[in-house]
Structure 1
Amino acid sequence: MRTMKRSLAMAVTAVAVAGISFAGVAPASAAPVGNAAASGRNCDDYATQAAKHQQAGDEYTALGKAEAAKSSPDRAKVARYYAMAQDEYQQAAKFKDLFDSCTGQ
């Protein structure tokens, strides 16, 4: 369904640009439709990767908390889980920054 909406949006944009060009008025920021679609897909990939890394970080944090809550926790495991969570959160932040720069936010 999402692809259908995106395709419909591209078609409407292409028709609008063609109509403006036919009328003899060049749009100020007319970008090729294909580039906009590719850019949207790339931005979606960044958002998806950021969400995956965020979820993995949350899972490692939960594992660390569960291990720390045991009656005799393995401190090395707890430290390892928290380090892995920190790495995942850093990766999520990098993908979030890429997404923000891709979308112009």
Structure 2
Amino acid sequence: MTTYYYILASQKFLIEEEPLEEVLRERTRHYQEKKQEIDFWLVKQPAFLEAPEFAEIKAKCPQPAAAIISTNQQFITWLKLRLEYVVVGEFQAPSQTITDPLASLETVS
């Protein structure tokens, strides 16, 4: 199993109100320069919130939600320092309740 760390907030806040695109673009460029594999993902309506152990967190987060999920705890900690109104946490996957850590409930139209 792998430990995944996340920042969770409403999509409106995380994607529209924060300069997140710029932050992720800069981080991607930094990884490319260092020839480092990307270890973070932006997931709209993350499916891990449907796991029973996340019921309380899901209830507190305005929907639809979005998450930045990473295997790099330092990156998530750094993001938390930049963003104010977010929830941070971690989970292990794959598990019985979270089979795909990066799955989304968002349907493509």
The answer, yes or no, to whether TM exceeds 0.5 is no
Q: Flag the structure with larger Rg.
A: 1
Q: Which has the higher contact order (CA 8 A, sep 6+)?
A: 2
Higher strand proportion: 2
Higher helix proportion: 1
